[in-house]
Amino acid sequence: MDGYHIAIEVIGWLAAAIILASYIMLSLGRIAARGYLYQWMNVIGASGFVLNSGYNGALPSAGLNVVWALMGVFTLWSVWRARKAAAATVH
């Protein structure tokens, strides 16, 4: 096993840890579903899964995680817009 393969595996395991941690924190009420932290953890975790799954030829998993990451990016954008609009109405 070469260094590149080990790096891909480490990325996959880190991605799994990030996704699991985000879900645990959400379930325990430590973070909000529409919060930046939860969404960024999902985007980063899903991106790691895309790299790992794609490298290992698990295309359905890679495809699912592309959608997962894009949903996180969309949610980050929509939360940012909503907060920006709310701040504009306050001033």
Query: Which of the pair, 51 or 89, is modelled with greater confidence?
Result: 51
Q: Kindly report whether the global pTM for this prediction surpasses the value 0.85.
A: yes
Instruction: Measure the CA–CA gap between 28 and 30, rounded to whole angstroms.
Output: 6
pLDDT per residue over 66-90, tens digit each? 999 999 999 999 999 999 999 998 7
Would you give the DSSP letter of residue 34? T
C-alpha span between 10 and 36 (Å, rounded): 25
20-24 own/partner pairs: CB under 8 Å, 24+ apart: none
pLDDT band at 91 (very low <50, low <70, confident <90, very high): low
Judge whether 48 and 18 are in contact, CB under 8 Å: yes
Residue 1 pLDDT: 83
Summarised one tens digit per residue, pLDDT across range 9-45 is 999 999 999 999 999 999 999 999 999 999 999 999 9
